[in-house]
Structure 1
Amino acid sequence: MRFDSSRLAKSKALRGPVILPAAIVMASLIAGAAFLQARGNKADPARAVEQAVAEAFRIAPTLESFVTHPDTWWPDTLNAEDLLPARVLKKVAVAPGDTLMQLLTDAGAEPGESQAAINALHAKFNPRRLKIGQEITLTFERNDADSYRLFEMSLSPSIEREVSVVRADDGFRASETIREFNVDRARVAGEIEDSLYNAGINAGLSNSLLGELIRIFSYDVDFQREVQTGDRFELFFERHYDDQGKTVKTGRIVGASMTLSGRELRYYLYQPSDGGEADYFTPTGSSVRKALLRTPIDGARLTSGFGMRRHPILGFSLMHKGVDFGAATGTPIQAAGDGTVEMAGWNGAYGQYVRIKHGNGYATAYAHMSRLGVKTGQRVRQGQIIGAVGSTGRSTGPHLHYEVMVNGKQVNPAGVRFPSGRKLEGKEYERFRKHVEGMDREMRGTPVMALLNRQD
């Protein structure tokens, strides 16, 4: 594509209709400005306007020269390619089913250079670990007159780390940058008006931090029944922030409390000196971890309890030997405890079904799942994702049917006292007690903050 400037001057016929009106307009503008300036300076306005008009018609031939002889003002021809930028920036996001190769080629990279860039990236980051929604920045550089080639690809696998691949003389080379942030501890508190989730969000908690709070207390708290309006919560946690004080990431919860109907539950994160796993303990040194979770799903609502009920499909009263939690299809389901998967597959009216055998005669079952994440015979850990909520089998809508069995018999999960975890004793307990005293002093000395600019 080329631009011919000579088209501006087709004939001398332009001189009359273009030059005279242009000179008149120019004279009017200059005269008006001169008149105003003369009044401001207390000079003779008439004399100023006369001089301005003369100046306008003096430079009119210059305008005539521009129109009739444009080649003296710019080159005869102007290539459109001369206006193209040296580099072009594109941002793409990973969607379900995308591959990095597909993203690069769809953005305009040649297959060969896309593969070379991906091969180089492996030195710093495995492309298979790309997550849905991950943003990738691509820079293309001008190659020939009207073509571009991939110059750089960069992405941030985490808030602290950026990985990039840049074209070099011998191909592509990968590098990474580690960002360092300031770290302190922050304290957030709130009062529940309608739900713990809304109270947490209003207090500035991220979804991940709020989910961790629920997980910590899920051993002892029935979030469907025990949480009431006026109850309170408090968190003490690690906060990573930049030089402007903006929170860029939240870390572990090191202390937390909930006050439910006047009853306070307070837990502390503690690393035993004997090399045991760091866990949350009560002020008396008892681990909050129990053998089984009462609620193996986050953010769900209890839709049907344990006991006799009128079956929504069959139409007559029937013993409901579990509890139902309503949640959206695809909501992750956790293993309630450590154990071995006894069954994973289709189970009649239960639909997609998983049953896990735990120790001491306990077992749990999960029904109506949309997909399974485990196989029969597989070992699982407490909190591990084993599938997702669905509506398979005899079901009227997406929900999790959850059963707890003791010695092969279904029991009401709300009425079971699950075995507790570790109990700190002797010198270990004395060490823990000093840790709690120091933590309490630090918490009292840290003002409650509004965690703005929160990050997930």
Structure 2
Amino acid sequence: MRDSPSTLWLLGILTGLLVLSGLRFGILSGRSAAATAGQERLETLSPAEPVVTIVPVVQREVVADTGAVTVPRLPPLPTLTDTIGPDDSIYLSLKGLGVSDAQILALGEALKLVFDAERAARPGDTYSLQLAADGRVARFEYTPIAEPERLVIVFRDGDQLLARETFLPLEYRQIALEVTIEDNLSNALGVADDGEVLTDLLADGIFRSAIDFHKDPRTGDRLGVVCQALYMNGAFLRYDRILLARYSGQVVSGLAIHYETPGASGYFDERGVSLERMFLLNPLAFRRISSNFSRKRFHPILKRNVPHLGTDYAANRGTDVWATARGRVSAAGRNGGYGKMVEIEHANGYSTRYAHLSRISVRTGQRIEKKHVIGRVGSTGRATGPHLHYELLKNGRHINPASANRGSRGRPLKKPHLRDFARQRDELRSILDSAGRRGSMVAVGDPPGR
């Protein structure tokens, strides 16, 4: 039976109404879902992410696309990195990256609250930097090479820069090793973690006034060490403190025990006498002695025999030069063939001179302590290449620097401390003797007090 035209017309109207209702419900539902998605996106943004404001969609009579609204995301800020080089500074490094003086000043003001960049910055320090589109510093992270567990952070909070520092967790270990000298100390300590640093700690630190490791060692000499070391994430980081060092040689022997008394600490021999003497044996870490003290030496520039009243140390340009004894700076500046030179007056009529420097780090009249950095190696004045010319004088007369400390004796511990010192000495020697029977380098337990 066929439907009448009036019936078909009524069914068409009803069907159209249903379709229009479904379409309208779908549009509104789509808009509601997009708004909800946008709101959830805002709630999950972290503080470090750019916040994008979503403008609500205004309802219109026309039918719109019902797809989800895509929130635009700002691109991340580019990160710049650099390493502080020799004769460099944070300021020069930042200028090289195009940072404005105003932003460097603002960064420095924030940084100085947690880190003394002028004094503490060293070649090898690394940093990362983020700049906003307008050139302002957004974030700065600095890691000192001497303390890789220390992270110095400067970040932007509105119109101001704030600074903080974070220290990563470290593990302390006590280790012992004993080695035999074949050719030199540095090669013998190659079995140890960072053997070059350990060499410097022994030669330029503990035995700096007692043993000259450039000329005293002989094949077959023995060296033993008990020390504390720091590890980060299971990897060796650096040496914290040497507790005992024992050198048994054919030319010279010595025992050094670290011992602390109220208000003081230092290294003492087996009888409790301090290893410190008035002078350091050498004024820098050097490769070799290129010319010794001589009353008659052929001069490589003047081409004739002239007195060479000091010691020449061959070293890389920029190597730190330190005072060999405490005293007062009596001269600091250029001095003819000496080039840039520093002279220091010491007690008992002694004085020292440091010549051909590339940079002077002290001023006339300044009082300084032993091993204070007074400048850096260079080749100013009458010099054929980078080296340090070092002189030692007594009452104005030149003497051989190799004779420094000859016949001198350190201060002994006071009697109330001797019993405790002897106990600590014997314990550490026992640890070293036991470790020497087990291998060249072994862990020997937790450091005391850890």
TM-score (norm 1): 0.69
CA distance in 2, matches of 1:235, 1:222: 18
Q: Return 421-430 or 152-161, whichever deviates more.
A: 152-161
Q: What is the aligned partner in structure 2 of residue 306 from structure 1? A: 293
Report the residue type matching 1:235 in the other structure: V
Aligned-partner Cα distance in 1 for 2:372–2:149: 26
Matched length: 364
Three-state SS of the structure 1 residue aligned to 2:198 is helix
Contact 1:290 1:418 in 2 (8 A): no
Q: Are residues 1:155 and 2:142 paired?
A: yes
Question: Is it true that 1:421 corresponds to 2:410 in the alignment?
Answer: yes
Q: Superposition pairs for residues 378-393 of structure 1, below 5 Å? A: 378-393=366-381
Superposition deviation, residue 140 in structure 1? 7.3
- Distance in 2 between the 1:355 and 1:117 partners? 37
Q: CA deviation at 1:283?
A: 0.5
Per-residue CA distance 1:107-131 (angstroms, 9 max, x = gap): 8xx9988877665555444555544
2:223 aligned partner: 233
Contact 1:91 1:135 in 2 (8 A): no
The 3-state SS of whatever aligns with 2:318 is coil
CA spacing shift, 1:224–1:104, aligned 2, 3 Å: closer
Task: Name the residue aligned to 2:82.
Answer: 93
Partner deviation per Cα, 1:37-80 (whole Å, 9 max, x = no partner):
xxxxxxxxxxxxxxxxxxxxxxxxxxxxxxxxxxxxxx9xxx9x
Q: Which residue of 2 aligns with 1:438?
A: 427
What residue is the counterpart of 2:128 in the other structure?
137
Residues 398 and 437 from structure 1, CA distance in 2 versus in 1: closer, same or farther, beyond 3 angstroms? Answer: same
Q: Helix, strand or coil: the match of 1:99?
A: helix
Counterparts in 2 of 1:56-455, with a 5 A limit? 86-88=75-77, 90-95=79-84, 96-99=88-91, 102=94, 106=98, 120-126=110-116, 128=118, 129-138=120-129, 152-157=139-144, 158-168=147-157, 173-215=162-204, 216-242=206-232, 245-261=234-250, 263-273=252-262, 275=263, 277-307=264-294, 308-416=296-404, 417=406, 419-446=408-435, 448-449=440-441
Give yes or no for contact 1:104–1:114 (8 Å, CA) kept in 2.
Answer: no
Residue 422 (structure 1) shift: 1.3
Quick one: structure 1 residues 345 and 270, their matched pair in 2 at CA, closer, same or farther if it must change by over 3 Å?
same
2:159 & 2:324 partners in 1: Cα distance?
53
> Where does structure 1 lack aligned partners over 5 or more consecutive residues?
1-74, 452-456
Shift of 1:359: 1.2
Provide closer, same or farther for how the CA distance between residues 124 and 430 of structure 1 changes in structure 2, counting only shifts above 3 A.
same
Distance 1:87 1:204, change over 3 A: same
Match of 1:16 in 2: none
Q: Which amino acid aligns with 1:406?
A: K
The answer to whether the 8 A contact 1:94-1:130 is kept is: no
**CA pair 175-221 structure 1, distance change in 2 beyond 3 A:** closer
| TM-fit CA distance, 1:295 | 1.3
How far apart, CA to CA, are the structure 2 residues paired with 1:172 and 1:259?
56
Could you tell me which amino acid in structure 2 is paired with residue 136 of structure 1?
Answer: Y
Letter in 2 for 1:137: S
Structure 2's unaligned 5+ residue stretches are 1-65, 444-450
Going from structure 1 to structure 2, the CA distance change for 1:326 and 1:438 (only over 3 Å counts) comes to same
Percent identity, aligned pairs only, is 32
| Root-mean-square deviation (Å) | 3.6
User: Which digits, 9 at most, give the CA deviation of each residue in 1:375-400, with x for residues without a partner?
Assistant: 22221111111122222333232222
Distance 2:187 2:199 in 1: 10
> How much has 1:290 moved relative to structure 2?
0.7
How big is each residue's C-alpha offset from its partner over 1:62-109, in whole Å with a ceiling of 9 and x where there is no partner?
xxxxxxxxxxxxx9xxx9x96x775356241244244299469748xx
Is the CA contact 1:188–1:234 (under 8 Å) kept in the aligned structure 2? yes
C-alpha distance in 2 between matches for 1:334 and 1:116? 33
- What TM-score do the two structures reach when normalised by structure 2? 0.69
Q: Distance in 2 between matches of 1:246 and 1:179?
A: 13
Kept in 1, the 8 Å contact 2:216–2:252? The answer is no
The residue type equivalent to 2:430 in the other structure is R
* Cα separation, partners in 2 of 1:228 and 1:149, compared to 1, 3 Å: same
Work out the CA distance in 1 between the residues paired with 2:355 and 2:159. Answer: 56
Q: Which amino acid aligns with 2:278?
A: A
Cα deviation for residue 412 of structure 1 reads 1.7
CA drift of 1:335 comes to: 0.6
